[in-house]
Amino acid sequence: MTNSKNTKFYSTLVFDDSTMQKYLDAKSYKDFRDIVENGKPLSINLADKIAAAMKDWAVSMGATHFTHWFQPLNGTTSEKHDSFLVPEGDSGKAIFSFSGKALISGEGDASSFPSGGLRATFEARGYTAWDPSSNAFIKDEVLCIPTAFCSYNGQALDKKTPLLRSMDAIKAQLTVFMNYFGVKTKDIVVNVGAEQELFLIPKKDYEAREDLIMCGRTLFGNKPVKGQELEEHYYGCLRPTVSNYYKELDDELWALGIAAHTKHNEAAPSQHELAPIYTNANRAIDENLITMEKMQLLASKYDLACLLHERPFEGINGSGKHCNWSVCAGGSNLLDPGKTDSEIIRFIAFLSCVIAGVDEYQELIRASVASAGNDCRLGGNEAPPAIISIYLGDALSNIINAVMSGHSYEAMTDSKMDLGVSVLPQIMRDSSDRNRTSPFAFTANKFEFRMPGSQMNLSDCVMVLNTAIAKSIYDFNKLLEKGKNKIGNTKKFQNFVLSCCAKTLKDHKRIIFNGDGYSSAWQKEAKKRGLSNNVTTADALPCMISKNSVELFEAFGVLTKEELKSRYVISLEKYNKLINIESRLMHRMVKRTFLPAINEYASDLSSQINEISNAQKTYKLQNQRASLKKLLSGLEDIYESLEKLDDLRESAKSIKDEQRKANHNAKKLVPAMKELRHCVDAMEHIVPRDWWPVPSYNSMLFYV
């Protein structure tokens, strides 16, 4: 038993299972577990008891308010604080009280959040509904109760509700699937682990950059003199300031029951990562949203700024949020190859379903991670390309090929490596290597979805993955139904399952690719295979409202046609608004920040040339005149590019259709923004440091 004070404080701010047992009587606790595990209805009497227990615990921990904590469709989290305080008539006294009704549901202003047409502005009523499967917690002396958020008509206005529906969908299909393999269980859990990447830079530099404040990324800036080419930052020693920041972050997260586990320097200078221990998808996503909030709030205490944008700096790695995904049934990880024939065949069957689901709904999976920020990141610097593919590794690919050809196969085994040094132990080598360019890579006993951007809410992509794979399991179950008479004969059934796997894999093998995702050869090959390459958000989003997508989500009760369309509309609007904000800010920064500084330096340099020339007429001053010529030529380029940008911005205003506007922004406005940036950045090489009006990459990324 450990005596560490840190482990004693673990989960102290969470109304978890053990805390509930302390504050609830045994029968009420048992009834509550029945609700969570078996979907039994919640009575108002039990709700009152749970609410009273929550309140007593929260007050004992110093809480004075409660809030229904939810995830609106803007992708962030929201909360409205209400006090426990209730005056006792005119006595001048008050008590703390919390009812079951207040626990179960609340009312908020739905019209103030994006709805994508589900609600009119004048239709303001929205409801929050308690999610008992996610633990309540205390944050800043407020009891936070995780909830879903829906409209007056019951339509989902949040990201949690469709996620929970998708988890039910895959659970229902896997219950049938497991029955075919002789396992009767409803204990089926989708697990997620979110590897969160971030940048930490000096707060003073952040405050001096209007683009970082308004957009989360630098709209201007030259590559640093030294980037990541020396490969010295990755896994390097943490700066003392960053180390202290991480220590306090660990303390705060552990108190909230978030098992922050791995922390290290990432590849780019000033880039870092924090990864938690795996947990169920609903809880994992709630915890990741809390983690991002804590990361940003805590940074300022250490005179740092935490950047969660997908690409804060050009020329070096961007930041992702690698989503590790797996499913457990009856306590077994279905992506663990296992050792017995039965386990291995079940693994191959489930793997076949995953491959089929990812292939069938590749465009929808790509759309689930589409954003203006992620467009800046995908396709290079360790971020996967926009083409969806699955990496299996050589060992697993050999097994898959054997299954498709009907030949015998060998179970995957880890081999030992002898490092050739007597004092070093032999270490186990995984059955597959890692592929940093793969969007969806098998990593021993899970898949790592590498496409999500660092600031994203993972609910969207996990919901799509769950639903797509639920559909492929449903299709596979129909194949297994044809051979149910073989179930009693193990060998016959196993051979029949393998034949079903062979059919599924042959139909969907095009999605498997183990090579370099960055190569131009792969782009050509992917096109031949019929795989989509939706490079921009504008390209990616239309598939959300395709007939195929609508049928998928409606068939499994995850999203109605109207709910799906609303998310498409919101994603389009957000993309267009972000591009508009960035282009407007570029105009403002060029006019008010960069042009005055460049013009002033050009004027000063001109005066210097004239003064020296008048004083020493024999000097030709070729270098100074060449610099002045470059400055003046650069200024002309900036003015010309700025005018082009302004014209395209005006053109965008007149486009009413959001998809057409997105196409215009992606194909014309964004390239014009890049062109203007290039013109301004070229001047940073010429204008002296003291004249340059904003902190450079060198100063922001390399600090003591």
Please give the pLDDT value at position 418.
45
pLDDT in tens, 430-440: 555 455 678 99
Q: What angle do CA 562, 547, 161 make, to 5 degrees?
A: 40
- pLDDT over 60 at 658, yes or no: yes
The C-alpha atoms of residue 561 and residue 553 are separated, in whole angstroms, by 8
Q: How confident is the model at residue 342 (pLDDT cuts 50, 70, 90)?
A: confident
pLDDT in tens, 110-119: 677 878 777 6
- pLDDT over 50 at 487, yes or no: yes
Q: Which 8-state DSSP code applies to residue 275?
A: E
- pLDDT over 70 at 694, yes or no: yes
Please give the pLDDT value at position 124.
66
Please give the pLDDT value at position 426.
45
Letter string b/e over residues 658-680, b meaning 16 or more CB atoms within 10 A of that residue's CB:
bbebbbbbbebbbebbeebbebb
- pLDDT over 80 at 345, yes or no: yes
Which stretches of 77-222 are DSSP H helices?
100-104, 160-180, 203-207, 210-215
Task: Flag the least confident range among 67-71, 91-95, 103-107, 526-530.
Answer: 91-95
Q: What angle do CA 351, 357, 360 make, to 5 degrees?
A: 135
Q: Are 291 and 262 in contact (CB under 8 A)?
A: no
The C-alpha atoms of residue 329 and residue 346 are separated, in whole angstroms, by 12
pLDDT in tens, 16-32: 999 999 999 999 999 99
Tokens linked to 66: 């409660």
Nearest to 292 by CA among 518, 453, 472: 453
- pLDDT over 70 at 416, yes or no: no
Average pLDDT for 259-280: 92
pLDDT in tens, 446-474: 999 999 999 999 999 999 999 999 999 99
Please give the pLDDT value at position 444.
82
Please give the pLDDT value at position 425.
47
Letter string b/e over residues 493-502, b meaning 16 or more CB atoms within 10 A of that residue's CB:
bbebbbebbb
- pLDDT over 80 at 94, yes or no: no
- pLDDT over 80 at 135, yes or no: yes
The C-alpha atoms of residue 35 and residue 18 are separated, in whole angstroms, by 17
Q: What angle do CA 156, 160, 162 make, to 5 degrees?
A: 55
Q: How confident is the model at residue 414 (pLDDT cuts 50, 70, 90)?
A: low
Residues 6+ apart with CB under 8 A from 337: 343, 344, 347, 411, 412, 431, 445
Report phi then psi at 122, rounded to 5. Answer: -80, -10
Helices (H) and strands (E) counted in the chain, each on its own, are 25, 21
Please give the pLDDT value at position 622.
82
The C-alpha atoms of residue 482 and residue 198 are separated, in whole angstroms, by 50
Tokens linked to 582: 């960035």
What pTM was estimated for this model as a whole?
0.92
Tokens linked to 453: 């951007």
Q: Which 8-state DSSP code applies to residue 229?
A: T
Q: What is the β-pairing status of strands 447-449 and 304-307?
A: unpaired
Average pLDDT for 546-562: 97
The C-alpha atoms of residue 701 and residue 703 are separated, in whole angstroms, by 6
- pLDDT over 60 at 324, yes or no: yes
- pLDDT over 70 at 682, yes or no: yes
Please give the pLDDT value at position 427.
39
Please give the pLDDT value at position 120.
64
Average pLDDT for 342-353: 91
SS3 595: helix
Q: How confident is the model at residue 621 (pLDDT cuts 50, 70, 90)?
A: confident
pLDDT in tens, 383-409: 899 999 999 988 888 888 888 888 766
Q: How far is CA 580 from CA 78, 213, 377, in A?
A: 25, 16, 19
Average pLDDT for 256-279: 92
Name which residue leads in pLDDT, 545 or 108: 545
The C-alpha atoms of residue 286 and residue 276 are separated, in whole angstroms, by 12
Residue listed under structure tokens 């809390």: 290
pLDDT in tens, 175-188: 999 999 888 988 99
pLDDT, the chain, mean: 90
Kindly give the interhelix angle for 394-405 and 341-360, rounded to the nearest 10 degrees: 90
- pLDDT over 90 at 650, yes or no: yes
Select, from the ranges 76-85, 328-337, 554-563, the one with the highest average predicted confidence (pLDDT).
554-563
